[in-house]
Structure 1
Amino acid sequence: AKNQHWTKGETLDVRAMMDTWTLQKGYPLVTVTVRGKNVHLQQERYVKGEDSPSSTGYVWHIPLTYITSKSDTVQRFLITTKTDVIILPEEVEWVKFNVDMNGYYIVHYEGDGWDRLIDVLKENHTVMSSNDRASLINNVFQLVRIKKLSISKAFDLTLYLKRESQIMPVLQGLSELIPIYRLIERRDMDGTGQQLKIVNLFKDLIDRQSWSDEGSVSERLLRDSLLHFACVHGYQPCVDKAKGYFTEWQKSDGTLSLPADVKSAVYTVGAQTSEGWDFLLSKYRLHSFSVERHDIELALSRSRSKDKLQWLMDQGLRGDIVRTQDLPSIIVFVAKNPSGYHLAWTFLKENWEKVVEKFELGSNSVAGIVTGVTSRYSTSSQLAQVKEFFSSLDEKSAQLRCVQQAIETIEDNIQWMNRNFEKIKTWLQKNH
């Protein structure tokens, strides 16, 4: 075969390889099937949504990398055809492609390939690098999107996260699971969202976080994300700790220096009482430092009081107490709050002309608001409302790229929920 193993120092026909990447849209999906010592490879274009007829002729030159259960030395293989076979020196328990997530391709493991990798993660996840674990989490959910795998398989894989402590896989896990949780939360009639206790997967790791600014950049990023996530999702030990910090901070009239990594968690919990919310607002008005303002805005937008959320958006439009430049992010924050997502949509509809006047029709600000407010919609009645509203506007508004994107996202969400909601319920019943 002309597709050969290549070594790190070897020169490849870079021009021919680059042409396959620069002249074709998208990126490849490589399907791997292990039979004995033979690893069968097949490449196709990764296509979201319904299969596009034009994607059949796509072939990339892909420099594949892989490790196996028998060798953690990175092996290399260049595939330049639709299908090929790698012959291993011996049979292996598992094989993992795209080592350290360095390649721009998705990998699907056919047969029992995914089950074997899930078993590895369960038994001893550290045999792979943290980037490899993150790439498995990413790929498994990408494959659910294109109906190559069931959601239950993806959820099976995430169970190992209870033992994970590295930033890349944890953040990848959160970025896949939180949007699913939000979709279910918005549609939830029977408490399924409550059973999807994402916090439980990360409980041990959350408990191990110090409420400080110690550690490397990645440790600090992880702390900030985890503590905020835990407080938003009502994990009581975190909520209690954040309350303690907020009380001390309030007593000092805001002069107490809080660790930067815990501020968003502390402010979010503090904003849940009327008194705390008012205190935060008074501090917001004094701050010209944008990072601090952003943390406070986020917390104010997490209130459960619909009146406060409405007031916040109204003031952002007026621009005297709340800066108008902060309005786009406030509307999107309110939309992400279960208490506020109807309010944000109603606000956008009722004030569309004023919003467009302030931020201009084709601006990133308007695009961010439109996609941010509707990104978790997943019912046909919500889709109808969005279509109806934008089609009632002038042609320029109705034809906006962000409006088309918002409609496509809602359609994707509807299909995703129709395919997966019942499966998620069944999986939760089995695993809780």
Structure 2
Amino acid sequence: MYKSMPLCWVLASLAACVFAMEAQDLEAAEQFYHIQGVYYPAWSVAVPAAYAVGGQLVSFSPDRLYPEATTNKAAVSASSSSGSDKKDQPQHDTTSKKNVRLPRTVLPIHYDVRLFPVLEKDNFSILGQVSIDLQCQMETDRIVLHSADIVVDPKSVKVIEQGKPAGKTLTVASDGIHYDTDMEFLIIRLEDKDKLAKGANYTLSMNFVGNLTDQLRGLYRSTYKEDGVEMSMAVSQMEPTDARRAFPCFDEPNMKATFTVTLGRHRDMTALSNMPEGMEEFYWDHFAPSVPMSTYLIAFIVANFTQVEADVGNATWKFNIYARPSARNQTQYASEIGPKIQTFFEDYFQIPFPLPKQDMIAIPDFAAGAMENWGLITYRETALLYDEKKSSVANKERVCEVIAHELAHQWFGNLVTMDWWTDLWLNEGFASYAEYLGAQHVEPGLKWPQQFVTRELQNVMSLDALESSHPISVVVHHPNEIHEIFDRISYGKGATIIRMLAAFLGEKTFRQGLTNYLKSHQYGNAVQDDLWDALTKQAKVDKVPLPTGVKEIMDTWTLKMGFPVVTVTREYQNNSVLLSQERFLMQRSNASSQDKTVYLWWVPLTYTTDFQKVGSTWLADGQTSKKHELSIPADKNQWVIFNVDQTGYYRINYDSKNWQMIGQQLMTNHLSISAINRAQIMDDSLNLAEAGLLDYETALNLARYLEHETDYVPWNAALTGMNYISSMMSRTSGYGLLKKHFRTIITPLYNLVGFDQKVGEDLLLTKLRTKAVSWACSIGNKDCISRTVNSYAQWMADPENIDIISPNLKGIVACTAIEKGDEAEWEFALNRYMASNVASERDVLLTSMSCSEKPWILAKMLEMSLNPTSGIRKQDAARVIIQVASNSLGRYITFNFIREKWTEIRKVVSNKFFSRIIKAVASSFNTELELKELIQFREERSEELIGAERATQQAIDRAKNNLNWMDVNKDTTLPTTFHTPSNDDESSHYY
């Protein structure tokens, strides 16, 4: 379009735009130019048109518009330090622990942000203007705020004092604009005669230019195809520290302000932000002022998307879903459950949703799963879109949980925000807990309270049992350190201790305490002590019996890493038990002796007997040497189970007789023990055996009861533990015996649930079948392999027939067929991946393609992950690498790949996902050579592992644990345990 413009219009538009911007005349910069029957704002014409002058393609660059800023060109590069001239700048060590917080000399009150994302090929850029109302807290001659990958027009920077008729303009020093690229600071220094006065208000304004990159952070571009035509959109992701890449700002969570946003767009596009529009013109969308909020919650969208308005009943707010036009039919599920969950949380928190609308949008390229921007929540397509015919129960589950998580954030995170990233877990841990409440409200058939135990509690224990774990509450400084704590500890452990807290306080006290906390800190910031204080006060009102204050209890869980194993030793002659606690570790090293932390906790203990009598007590964090004695209502022939429904974040180990009685009960009538406690018994016993605290004979004998089990949650816990044994033994001579042992456990389940899905069956039964089929095929069940391979062959013969394979088994069928097949099977999956319009189906196929046993195919997939023209999106590059690394053959190929392609991978994959790649590659390393190579890799790349140091150390710790496990178990302990009982074996023989 722009190339066909008359040259005179191009030159006139360019001159007008540059003049207007330099003269600070925003009204002139917003003039509309009438070209060939269409209206264009000056800067939307001038900048894209600049590269067509004279029939030559000339790339737009910030220094063409602001030549005075050429010494700072590096600030707008994809990497803030790449190629910059640092000789006159202070040097900073980005890995140091120094404080990189902004000074509190001035605080923002209100932002007026105007952005025009230029979505023209070869000229992706951001033109912007920002005015910030400031309040001076102490006299100063400079303003320090955040800016990264942005170039500011020096002539445009103005500081005006408010409160006087004309407003006094302060003079910016001639050399007063300075970029500190390491600290990501923009420093504006005034002339000596002009200083900001304490208590006075000022307005800081400036024009700037940035690049609209494809780096999935800040304000960036995403591309997709619609009816075969490539489309571009602008989308934002600001958390944790990338608002500074969209516009200069005070980018810290406790520097809240209100925002008025204006977005420029082309006529056929839609602009969205946190608030609804105030008025609409041809190309500028003006949005209403926001409530006070943190910069990381700001959101901008400019796209050709379709809108689906949800039915909200009598709600006071609107609810909209946005998606690509061709994906409109996949928005129904989200539009049904979204308003219901938001209404549920209004009731749960007893606080109305404060905004007039809630938008949710599915983004084709999105690094995170979703982002809770206030009033405009952004999602990966797999986390928001659901196709009834092509998506599985697991996909529905994913959409439900993510929507509930992000809507919980609207209160816990947005209305009340953590003061600093040290308390990130307050946001993420609570949302990860509350998502199960919201999801249970709309999908009770998925039994979310039961699934919490395996999906969150047991899952995070595997990470928290490492010496290189970290406390929930972590002091962080540099942005790279902030990225590191977006992990399972902040999310899963945070959710788990919140659940434990709710259990010992009681639901009524817990909810009222939360409401009091939210109301007293709304539109502000808080630290974890504020929450503890609100809950302690409510506990006193409700007369909840606690051994000490909530803060004293919870500090032992948030300020220390790890968790305890509580040992229960029964005194059978006098109906009592002796209780003791110590930190649970998979392996202790010499580093333990250097750690001076006292690993003792306030442990809320609950217990039940076979008479179903429930009691409770506390283990104090000060009980060190002596054991705690407790009388229990059980005689010597009755079992006792501690940690009822596993509400506490700890493991339990019993004496051998109690383990035996529990096992006998499971074999005779497992339903007398709750499903959650059966899952706990499986998880605790197998992990205690892995750590050497329980013999494997006891653990695996307990698992034999599974031949009677039909509940998903206990099976999920057991199979997770068995998977570790399988991954360790897969390269040993004893693996055949292990597979035979596992077949005796899995085959009855496979025969029970069958291969074919039943109409209207329980959702968790569908999930259980998925597990059963996956395991049956992996351990060599001939019927399973035959049916999967034949089903895939039928699909290859009739590609458009979506009824041949159930969406719930498509991943397993494709994986098995590709593993057993050749290039043709893999190529078919690749072609279906490229052709699919359903993101969840694409994910399944992409994962299945990594099941190949052909080294060259796996190598090809790894190369495709870094190739922007391969059809694999940048957001999925890390996923491909992780999946190939999860293949027993692919882990070595992947390790070589990341060592050889280090530079290219770092350009594509963020620190967050690189951490996951390292963990995936090393998860099954269990030899001296593998450990040595992993340590060597860490040493060689130590200076380049910024943001992934902790993950690398955790990978090394896991490898050490694995190596130790192999030394103890592979030749002696386990082979003697893999005894397949004959038909006349009695259950009593298992103990």
Is the CA contact 1:184–1:192 (under 8 Å) kept in the aligned structure 2? no
What is the letter of the counterpart of residue 742 of structure 2? I
- Structure 2 residue corresponding to 1:64, chosen from 605, 622, 646: 605
The equivalences for 1:385-400 within 5 A come to 385-393=933-941, 395-397=943-945, 400=949
C-alpha displacement of 1:283 = 0.5
Cα deviation code 1:142-194 (max 9, x no counterpart)? 322443212222122112222211111100011001121011113x1454565
Is the CA contact 1:45–1:56 (under 8 Å) kept in the aligned structure 2? no
Task: Return closer, same or farther for 1:43/1:227 CA change in 2, 3 Å cut-off.
Answer: same
Aligned to 2:713: 168
How far apart are the structure 1 equivalents of 2:734 and 2:643?
40
Aligned to 1:264: 811
Aligned to 1:280: 829
Aligned to 2:865: 316
How far apart are the structure 1 equivalents of 2:865 and 2:597?
50
Task: Return closer, same or farther for 1:196/1:46 CA change in 2, 3 Å cut-off.
Answer: farther
Aligned to 1:378: 926
How far apart are the structure 1 equivalents of 2:567 and 2:871?
52
How far apart are the structure 2 equivalents of 1:177 and 1:388?
30
What is the letter of the counterpart of residue 308 of structure 1? I
How far apart are the structure 1 equivalents of 2:574 and 2:635?
5
How far apart are the structure 2 equivalents of 1:218 and 1:101?
20
Q: Does 1:334 align with 2:880?
A: no
How far apart are the structure 1 equivalents of 2:583 and 2:736?
31
Higher alpha-carbon deviation: 222-231 or 280-289 = 222-231
How far apart are the structure 1 equivalents of 2:548 and 2:975?
50
Task: Return closer, same or farther for 1:430/1:229 CA change in 2, 3 Å cut-off.
Answer: closer
Q: What's the TM-score, normalizing by structure 1?
A: 0.89
C-alpha displacement of 1:263 = 1.1
- Structure 2 residue corresponding to 1:28, chosen from 564, 577, 586: 564
Q: Does 1:137 align with 2:682?
A: yes
C-alpha displacement of 1:12 = 1.2
How far apart are the structure 1 equivalents of 2:543 and 2:700?
40
C-alpha displacement of 1:368 = 1.0
- Give 3-state SS (helix, strand or coil) of 1:259's partner: coil
Gaps of 5+ in 2: 1-503, 507-541, 983-991
Task: Return closer, same or farther for 1:394/1:119 CA change in 2, 3 Å cut-off.
Answer: closer
Aligned to 2:763: 217
- Give 3-state SS (helix, strand or coil) of 2:616's partner: strand
Aligned to 1:408: 957
Higher alpha-carbon deviation: 252-261 or 77-86 = 77-86
Structure with the larger helix share: 1
Task: Return closer, same or farther for 1:431/1:390 CA change in 2, 3 Å cut-off.
Answer: farther
How far apart are the structure 1 equivalents of 2:915 and 2:716?
26
Cα deviation code 1:186-244 (max 9, x no counterpart)? 3x145456545423312111122242264233222222222223223332211222223
- Structure 2 residue corresponding to 1:353, chosen from 903, 914, 919: 903
C-alpha displacement of 1:382 = 0.5
C-alpha displacement of 1:10 = 7.0
Aligned to 1:180: 725
Is the CA contact 2:608–2:614 (under 8 Å) kept in the aligned structure 1? yes
How far apart are the structure 2 equivalents of 1:65 and 1:23?
18
- Give 3-state SS (helix, strand or coil) of 2:941's partner: coil
What is the letter of the counterpart of residue 404 of structure 1? Q
Is the CA contact 1:44–1:55 (under 8 Å) kept in the aligned structure 2? no
- Give 3-state SS (helix, strand or coil) of 1:149's partner: coil
- Structure 1 residue corresponding to 2:615, chosen from 60, 75, 99: 75
Is the CA contact 1:302–1:337 (under 8 Å) kept in the aligned structure 2? yes
What is the letter of the counterpart of residue 356 of structure 1? R
- Give 3-state SS (helix, strand or coil) of 2:549's partner: helix
Is the CA contact 1:312–1:322 (under 8 Å) kept in the aligned structure 2? no
Q: What's the TM-score, normalizing by structure 2?
A: 0.40
Higher alpha-carbon deviation: 235-244 or 375-384 = 235-244
How far apart are the structure 2 equivalents of 1:156 and 1:414?
24
Q: Does 1:158 align with 2:703?
A: yes
Task: Return closer, same or farther for 1:429/1:217 CA change in 2, 3 Å cut-off.
Answer: closer
The equivalences for 1:117-132 within 5 A come to 117-132=662-677
How far apart are the structure 2 equivalents of 1:374 and 1:27?
24
- Give 3-state SS (helix, strand or coil) of 1:40's partner: strand
How far apart are the structure 2 equivalents of 1:125 and 1:171?
16
Structure with the larger strand share: 2
- Give 3-state SS (helix, strand or coil) of 1:112's partner: helix
C-alpha displacement of 1:379 = 0.6
Q: Does 1:109 align with 2:654?
A: yes
Aligned to 1:241: 787
How far apart are the structure 2 equivalents of 1:431 and 1:418?
27
C-alpha displacement of 1:326 = 2.3
Is the CA contact 2:884–2:890 (under 8 Å) kept in the aligned structure 1? yes
- Give 3-state SS (helix, strand or coil) of 1:376's partner: coil
What is the letter of the counterpart of residue 807 of structure 2? A
How far apart are the structure 2 equivalents of 1:64 and 1:346?
48
Is the CA contact 2:770–2:809 (under 8 Å) kept in the aligned structure 1? yes
How far apart are the structure 1 equivalents of 2:886 and 2:871?
19
Task: Return closer, same or farther for 1:134/1:190 CA change in 2, 3 Å cut-off.
Answer: closer
The equivalences for 1:283-302 within 5 A come to 283-302=832-851
Task: Return closer, same or farther for 1:374/1:61 CA change in 2, 3 Å cut-off.
Answer: closer
Aligned to 2:581: 44
Task: Return closer, same or farther for 1:111/1:425 CA change in 2, 3 Å cut-off.
Answer: closer
Task: Return closer, same or farther for 1:252/1:401 CA change in 2, 3 Å cut-off.
Answer: same
Higher alpha-carbon deviation: 394-403 or 219-228 = 394-403
Gaps of 5+ in 1: 1-5
- Give 3-state SS (helix, strand or coil) of 1:215's partner: coil
Is the CA contact 1:44–1:56 (under 8 Å) kept in the aligned structure 2? no
Task: Return closer, same or farther for 1:21/1:419 CA change in 2, 3 Å cut-off.
Answer: farther
C-alpha displacement of 1:137 = 1.0
Is the CA contact 1:140–1:154 (under 8 Å) kept in the aligned structure 2? yes
C-alpha displacement of 1:249 = 2.0
- Structure 2 residue corresponding to 1:251, chosen from 797, 811, 818: 797
- Structure 1 residue corresponding to 2:875, chosen from 315, 325, 339: 325
Greater relative contact order structure (CA < 8 Å, 6+ sep): 1
How far apart are the structure 1 equivalents of 2:633 and 2:799?
69
C-alpha displacement of 1:109 = 0.7
C-alpha displacement of 1:110 = 1.8
Is the CA contact 2:556–2:602 (under 8 Å) kept in the aligned structure 1? no
What is the letter of the counterpart of residue 277 of structure 1? W
Aligned to 1:3: none
Aligned to 1:307: 856
Is the CA contact 1:206–1:227 (under 8 Å) kept in the aligned structure 2? yes
How far apart are the structure 2 equivalents of 1:7 and 1:281?
52
Is the CA contact 1:37–1:90 (under 8 Å) kept in the aligned structure 2? no
How far apart are the structure 1 equivalents of 2:737 and 2:863?
31
How far apart are the structure 2 equivalents of 1:177 and 1:401?
27
- Give 3-state SS (helix, strand or coil) of 1:23's partner: helix
Higher alpha-carbon deviation: 43-52 or 419-428 = 43-52
